Structure 1
Amino acid sequence: MEYRGATAKIPSENILTKSTLIKNNEIQLRRSPRIMGAAAKENNKTEVVKPVLELSEILFEGKINYADTFGDCAMACDEVLQLVQKKTDIIVPIGFDLEWPFSFQTGSGKTALIQICMDYKICHLLHVYELRKLPAALIELLIHPKVRLVGVNIKNDVWKLGRDFKEFPSQKVVENNCIDCGTFANATLNRSCRWSMANLTVYVLQKEISKDPKVRRSKWHIQPLSDAQKSYAATDAYVSLLLYNTLQDKANENAS
């Protein structure tokens, strides 16, 4: 969900292409005061950078498992949990994201959709808006000691899930089971930026991710979801996992 978090502030020399910030065929950015130092406080001008090339849009092309009942959600989570338990890896990253209805009059609604992507072949979409409580298998999965939920501004999603479902131990998950891809990118790439998913996808993957406001601000609480909603939601979780894995490969290279 992209109502959380600030727009990425990316050094202009690192922009590879246009992103969602493009206006009139130009990219308009503000450098972070942390990057520019005292000069930024005196002259925080908007830089205009011409895009170098057009990038292709990234889409999830695997199987989408849409679970819209308590039983189906529990079954999907149990399936993923069993796969986690079988893995010999110390850490099992899972692309994680939420969607919820949003109104400028009333603000954020209750969590409607939970997206889970553990590999590139399948993404689980759990429609939880009508549920009074989360399936036990989902909670067990999210607090599993090997699981790391990965995504941009991931902790904000976890806190929201805890606010909407009181039985969910959000603090425990935030402390033990979250890796923010933006923070990871800064540490791995020696940057100090505030990333959105769209800009991190451009910077790391050299792809563009759709943030079509008609879909992003759509009625996520209404069942069934449209094909466009399913594709958008699955792509967010898939890209979260892809970003983490790409950054981890880079971190491994730096360490060798």
Structure 2
Amino acid sequence: MPEYILYNNIIYNNGEYLPATTVFHLIRGDWTILISDRSYMKLRARQIYIVDTVEQCEQIAVKFEKSASYLPILGLDCEWVTQNGIRQPVALLQIADNNGMCSLIRLSKFKTIPSSLSDILSNSNIIKVGVAILDDAHLLMNDYNINVSGCIDLRYLAKESCLEERSLSALAFKLLGCELDKDWHVRASDWEAEELNDRQTEYAALDAYVAVKIFEQLRNKKISWWNWLFLTDKQKWDKVTEIYSDYKDLPYQNVRTNGNTKYKPKSNVRLYSTSTIKSAKVYDNCLMENVDGTVMSTCSHKKVDWYISQGLAELVNNEPKTIRLNFSADLKNRKDNFSVLPRENICTVCGRSEYFRKKSIIPKEFVRHMPTVHKTHIPHDTLLLCYWCHIKSNAFDFTIRKKLFNMCQIKELNPNEYQKIPAYVKIMRSKSLAKTLLKSRHSLPDKVANELRLEIAETYNMKPDRVFDTFLETLLTIKSLKYENDCQHNSAAEKVVKHFLEKDAISELKAMWRQHFLDTMKPKYLPLLWSVNYDG
């Protein structure tokens, strides 16, 4: 048993204050301490390492590897700087273990992490906990290509325990009796500064460490302390893994937040992620036959119903559901049976059987500029991935895009260049205010409406009484530079396709994308007949 000291009605253990939020007994040998008053603890991480170099990062990875071998759980959080309302890349990665060891990894200084720490973060058997932790993981992948797996959002566990609290600070107060420093001056401070001050250091370390302690408290609500006492370390962790396996890497939905919730903006992945998450099966594997009974392809229940309702086909079999066309379809260009084979409803990469997204192996902005004959292979180049593998694959795609742009001597695009223009931020805000005024004109208090009109007037150097509805409607037609940037990406993709067309090498371009997917994702469950050089 550890040495506990009772000090001012607070249990003190090796530099850590433990909560006394309810009446409980602490057994130490043959005597018992009874604590009955409500106290609040001051929780501190025992060891804080500020990591400024890759070499230091390798050293801290060894410590976390040793810690995780005993208890495979880590708290994780991220901090970043916001300039002119625009999020900058993650500046600080905070990782803490159950023993109070916390590392503050300053990604803004060295932009990457060694493989030793990367292996720990990507190991799904080591649980990472936090509030909105998948958002942090998404940002790390998007900004630095750092893969974080095995994430559990504490809000799911809080919801399961019937707690109304959802933010980290609210959960810490409720479960640990600990008040976190959530002063906006600290939250919005310069995390890219040459040196972090003491308050920043303590704030950042506690955010990661408290997450682990909250997890412990929520775990204790699921497993009685008496049963926990007689389990071996392996049995304990097997039990935890079994209970919370459904929440691993599961995006949190239907979040109800309060004022203390840490805001995590979504990254701009619009160009590279357009499909929605599908929790149910995607492929129905119904069959479509030609008029002569030849199987043409698999299809969905929806397509089967549509063909029958339009009188274009009739149902000839129920298992599997099969329709036969009433007219002859041309199959002379089909060279193999890829489209006839049933598709499994699992992630092509890892085999997961839920939370799917369809992945276009050759991005659509490239395909749309190809000759029509090359647009008929979409089923072959559309693979099913789970949510997590989809994000990872999209991040890897930046590498081959850059390679293609360099190969075709196209200037590399900088999608964030426009964010440096303060006027742009004001213009986009005025567009948002105009939308609010037009949409909620009858429900907005006059005082609020006048303030919004005044802000718009100041942006365009005009009198507030001249901000008519017609002017507001004009503001709504302004296209963002983000839209223009999308057009630039399409233009760049068109130039790449044109470059390969001139060399009669479109098949080579397609093969490059497919090989890139194989090399970076190493899929284990590719469909039969799928090939890098497919030309069916």
Which of 92, 96, 119 is the matching residue for 2:76? 96
Contact kept? 1:97, 1:116, Cα under 8 Å:
yes
After TM superposition, the structure 1 = structure 2 runs for residues 144-155 of structure 1, keeping only pairs within 5 Å, are 144-155=123-134
CA pair 123-254 structure 1, distance change in 2 beyond 3 A: closer
Distance 1:56 1:79 in 2: 30
Greater relative CO, 1 or 2 (CA 8 Å, sep 6+): 1
Determine if the alignment matches structure 1 residue 232 to structure 2 residue 203.
yes
After TM superposition, the structure 1 = structure 2 runs for residues 163-182 of structure 1, keeping only pairs within 5 Å, are 163-166=142-145, 168-170=146-148, 173=149, 177-182=150-155
Answer with 120-129 or 228-237: which moved more: 120-129
Contact kept? 2:129, 2:215, Cα under 8 Å:
yes
Answer with 208-217 or 119-128: which moved more: 119-128
Distance 1:125 1:206 in 2: 24
- Structure 2 unpaired stretches of 5+: 1-20, 22-37, 228-536
Name the SS of the counterpart of 1:129 in structure 2: helix
Aligned-residue offset at 1:61: 4.3
- Structure 1 unpaired stretches of 5+: 1-15, 17-53
After TM superposition, the structure 1 = structure 2 runs for residues 127-138 of structure 1, keeping only pairs within 5 Å, are 127-138=106-117
What per-residue deviation string (whole Å, max 9, x for no partner) do you get for residues 129-172 of structure 1? 12232221221011224311011111111111111112x235xx
After TM superposition, the structure 1 = structure 2 runs for residues 239-250 of structure 1, keeping only pairs within 5 Å, are 239-250=210-221
Aligned-residue offset at 1:70: 1.4
What per-residue deviation string (whole Å, max 9, x for no partner) do you get for residues 231-250 of structure 1? 11111111111100111111
What per-residue deviation string (whole Å, max 9, x for no partner) do you get for residues 186-212 of structure 1? 11x224x46111111122222211101
Name the SS of the counterpart of 1:123 in structure 2: strand
Distance 1:254 1:120 in 2: 19
CA pair 73-126 structure 1, distance change in 2 beyond 3 A: same
**Counterpart residue identity of residue 97, structure 1:** D
Name the SS of the counterpart of 2:63 in structure 1: helix
Contact kept? 1:113, 1:127, Cα under 8 Å:
yes
Name the SS of the counterpart of 1:130 in structure 2: helix
Which of 33, 49, 58 is the matching residue for 1:74? 58
After TM superposition, the structure 1 = structure 2 runs for residues 1-256 of structure 1, keeping only pairs within 5 Å, are 56=40, 58-85=42-69, 87=70, 92-103=72-83, 105-166=84-145, 168-170=146-148, 173=149, 177-187=150-160, 189-191=161-163, 193=164, 195-253=166-224
Aligned-residue offset at 1:119: 2.4
Cα root mean square deviation, aligned: 2.4
- Find the structure with the greater CA-based Rg: 2
Contact kept? 1:152, 1:180, Cα under 8 Å:
yes
Distance 1:136 1:117 in 2: 18
What per-residue deviation string (whole Å, max 9, x for no partner) do you get for residues 86-118 of structure 1? x2x5xx111111111123x24221111111111
Identify the residue that residue 31 of structure 1 maps to in structure 2. none
Identify the residue that residue 8 of structure 1 maps to in structure 2. none
Contact kept? 2:134, 2:151, Cα under 8 Å:
yes
**TM-score after normalising by structure 2:** 0.34
CA pair 194-73 structure 1, distance change in 2 beyond 3 A: same
Contact kept? 1:57, 1:210, Cα under 8 Å:
no
Aligned-residue offset at 1:56: 4.0
Name the SS of the counterpart of 1:210 in structure 2: coil
Name the SS of the counterpart of 2:60 in structure 1: helix
**Counterpart residue identity of residue 180, structure 1:** D
Contact kept? 2:172, 2:180, Cα under 8 Å:
yes
Contact kept? 2:158, 2:165, Cα under 8 Å:
no
